Structure 1
Amino acid sequence: MSNIRVRGSIRPKISTMPRNNSQASKQLELYKLVTEEQRIQQELIFMEQRVQQLKQRLSVLDSQRNSIEKAIQDLRNVEPNSPKNTASSEPVVEVSKFQTYYLEY
């Protein structure tokens, strides 16, 4: 299993020096906010797609598991055929619908 890292809250990037209070600095701040918002929205879309893929895979695995379990039940319910062994053998011992043959060499 892989380690799942718990993420904390997303913190905004911090500039090393405070900017002057000007129109250009506010435009830059607005640009940063818009690009971060776009990145987060894109990440959410990716995560939703991934969740859908995982749900589909779980559905496939569930149906495969059910079909294999049904096949196992069918094999348990099938009546065994008569033994076709021509070699000298001891009587067949039936344990929960399985046949066991003991061959002497």
Structure 2
Amino acid sequence: MSDFFERLDKYMEYKGLNDNKLTVEAGISVGLIGKGRKRGGLSQENIAKILYNYPDLNANWLFRGEGNMIIEDQIFSSSEVNWKKIIKSQEDLLEILKKQTAK
């Protein structure tokens, strides 16, 4: 099973991103992805920024490797994106991550 950074790399390749472009677009410190790879993780705040700036990225897949990498098209099929559903899903997964790191 791949880990968080392997999955993040797969998403970045899919989107044509590199570490620098992702950090700039997500509004996190340049070099933070590389540092996170060495430390073995990113802060919840920085993960939230990534998820906020890439709403098609499935947080459940990113954290746990479950489901599809990309959030299903039905969320994006109408002219109005269901941001409440996306944000709620990502908040739920951040809570799971918070509980796991507290153990």
TM (norm. structure 2) is: 0.31
Report which structure shows greater RCO (CA 8 Å, sep ≥6): 2
Q: Which has the larger radius of gyration?
A: 1
More strand per residue: 1
More helix per residue: 2
